Amino acid sequence: MTIKVGESMPEGEFKFMGEGGPEGLNTKDLFGSKRVVLFSVPGAFTPTCSAQHLPGYIDTSDALREKGVDAIACMAVNDVFVMSAWGEAAGAGEKVLMLADGNAEYARALGLELDASGFGMGTRGQRFSIIVDDGVVTELNIEAPGEFKVSSAEVALEQVAAGK
């Protein structure tokens, strides 16, 4: 079942590249007592994800933080090494956390997995964004297949600025 506005984010763990190599990040630590924008892309280095989705969040990261966002996180069903390399190539730096959901476990927990086996990509996460306040979903923006509209950084900024 797909997560809904008003529900708590499920428990889980992501991987990210720390200074000494791959590290785990528990969702309680990521979402607890914070305002977080989590966005998901079907895959690192893919066209729309690399040309629009991730760069949009990098470019608006300062504005999102000015509106009270504590963290901006990009999630994809890729391994931690791919996510790290993509973040470096895109210039994400400290602006966007690059989180690996390598086995699609968190995408499944959210009910937002995507069967991309027809494209040779296996199970992936759908394209979406979620605004989380103190561990609870306040906004959920799920893209229709092949679309890139509602999960953009610009929409997240509008929602955060409106206090949603």
Enumerate the active-site residues.
49
How far apart are alpha carbons 34 and 134 in whole angstroms?
Answer: 5
DSSP β-ladder status, 13-18 and 21-26: antiparallel
Are 65 and 153 spatial neighbours (Cβ–Cβ below 8 Å)?
no
- DSSP secondary structure string, 108-155? HHHT-EEE-GGGT--EEEPSEEEEEETTEEEEEEEPPTT--STTSHHH
CA angle 164, 26, 22 (to 5 degrees): 120
C-alpha closest to that of 104 among 93, 117, 94, 95: 117
